[in-house]
Amino acid sequence: MTILANDFKRLWDDCAADVQHGVTRVGASGWYVLGGEVQSFETALSTYADLPHVVGCGNGMDAIEIALRCLDIGVGDKVLTTSLSAFATGLAILRAGAEPVYCDVGDDGLMDPDAVKQALEIYPDIRAIVPVHLFGHMADMAALRPLADAAGAVLIEDAAQAIGASRNGVRMGALSRASCTSFYPTKNLGAIGDGGALLTADATLAETALSLRNYGQTEKYVHDNIGLNSRLDELQAAILSGAFLPRLQTWTDRRRAIARRYLDGITHQAVTLCPGADPEGAVWHLFPVLVPAADRAAFMAHLGKSGVQAGIHYPKLIHHQKAMTQRGSVLCCGDLPKAQEFADCEVSLPIHPYLSDSEVDQVIAAVNGWVQ
């Protein structure tokens, strides 16, 4: 039996009855798009995340595009981000019409404030910064905020992997204009399909986002903005609020307990742990380790033979993807050696909340038993 990176069968076994309740409720209501379920899910998520406004969207990538467009960032504007992320981060910036600029990460794989400082010196016209809370670890928002303020840039958090995360007491969304999250099924709060949300303390921004997600409509048949069709649907909202959001804190606690077990148990000298700055505040979407680049394929093959499904996040940096390079010159602050190190050396171990302690110990034994 393989220990999976995500175990949707166990998720279903646990949640099926609650999911089916949601489906029945929506089906019987006769109202399938932008109704009471979306509204009550937005309210519930707002409470959970401690942010006053939540706007459900079609997916996490659209939420980032909408956040940028709410702040009037578009054609001709530069947006600083990290190249070590899901491609969607860079693509959302392009879709907004803006130009991504990439800077390097630190030892934790997260946007490095020193690299941001340098980037803002090289490109003083950067208008927005999109840090990514990769692996469920929050970027150093307390360091980024004064840099952004001094440069006159806005901060938008890519929190697709980090719903509910904090770092030394600073919560996701507390120091930025907006945070964007994803309900893609593998995420910590995953739907049974696509979904995403924009979270903000800014009422005006939230109002614009409500309009942009729905064709830029301000009242019925009145379109004041060039919008998108990016709505969270009633079914996903009902499933999220009835089945998955009520379990999120338990799941997050379980992910943290597994992370602690890994951090204490993995002792192989060639396997480098990435505890991050605040392992207790992180929500551990993934559990990344680093191994020497030349040995990664062998390490992954060894894990596979030991019944452990591992992943790589991410094997190719965003600014090296053909979709980016074919557009012409890519704005990049140097060679991004740290981001490249993650691309070459990172391996993600299973950390989904339905892992048993004995499975976690099996993963630890497999890692420690690797003969390099």
Residues of this chain that interact with ligand PLP (CB under 6 A) are 59-61, 85-86, 88-89, 132, 158, 160-161, 182, 184, 194, 196
Owner of token pair 């909408």: 66
Give the C-alpha distances (Å, rounded to integers) separating 366 from 3, 287, 348: 11, 15, 14
Closest separation in Å from C-beta 285 to ligand PLP: 8
Residue 88 tokens, joined: 């969607």
Question: How far apart (Å, rounded) are the C-alpha atoms in residues 216 and 228?
Answer: 7
Closest separation in Å from C-beta 83 to ligand PLP: 12
Query: What does the angle CA 42 – CA 244 – CA 202 come to, to the nearest 5 degrees?
Result: 25
For residues 25 and 320, which CB has a smaller minimum distance to ligand PLP in the complex?
320
Q: Using an 8 Å Cβ cutoff, are 128 and 68 in contact?
A: yes
For residues 104 and 194, which CB has a smaller minimum distance to ligand PLP in the complex?
194
Closest separation in Å from C-beta 196 to ligand PLP: 5
Question: How far apart (Å, rounded) are the C-alpha atoms in residues 147 and 107?
Answer: 20
Q: List, in sequence order, every residue forming a beta bridge with 222; answer none if it has no partner.
A: 219
Closest separation in Å from C-beta 286 to ligand PLP: 9
| Nearest residue to ligand PLP, by Cβ distance, number only | 60
Question: How far apart (Å, rounded) are the C-alpha atoms in residues 114 and 143?
Answer: 9
Closest separation in Å from C-beta 352 to ligand PLP: 15
For residues 167 and 302, which CB has a smaller minimum distance to ligand PLP in the complex?
167
For residues 7 and 62, which CB has a smaller minimum distance to ligand PLP in the complex?
62
Closest separation in Å from C-beta 299 to ligand PLP: 23
Closest separation in Å from C-beta 89 to ligand PLP: 5
For residues 59 and 362, which CB has a smaller minimum distance to ligand PLP in the complex?
59
Q: Using an 8 Å Cβ cutoff, are 313 and 289 in contact?
A: no
Closest separation in Å from C-beta 274 to ligand PLP: 16
Q: Which amino acid is at 354?
A: Y
For residues 158 and 359, which CB has a smaller minimum distance to ligand PLP in the complex?
158
For residues 285 and 302, which CB has a smaller minimum distance to ligand PLP in the complex?
285
For residues 56 and 60, which CB has a smaller minimum distance to ligand PLP in the complex?
60
Radius of gyration of the chain (CA): 20
| DSSP states of 16-50 | HHHHHHHHHHHHHHT--BSSHHHHHHHHHHHHHHT
Residue 347 tokens, joined: 């391996």
Tell me if the bond preceding 262 is cis, omega within 30° of 0: no
All residues at 6 or more sequence positions from 96 whose CB lies less than 8 Å from its CB, including other chains: 64, 65, 68, 69, 73, 74, 79
All residues at 6 or more sequence positions from 298 whose CB lies less than 8 Å from its CB, including other chains: 372
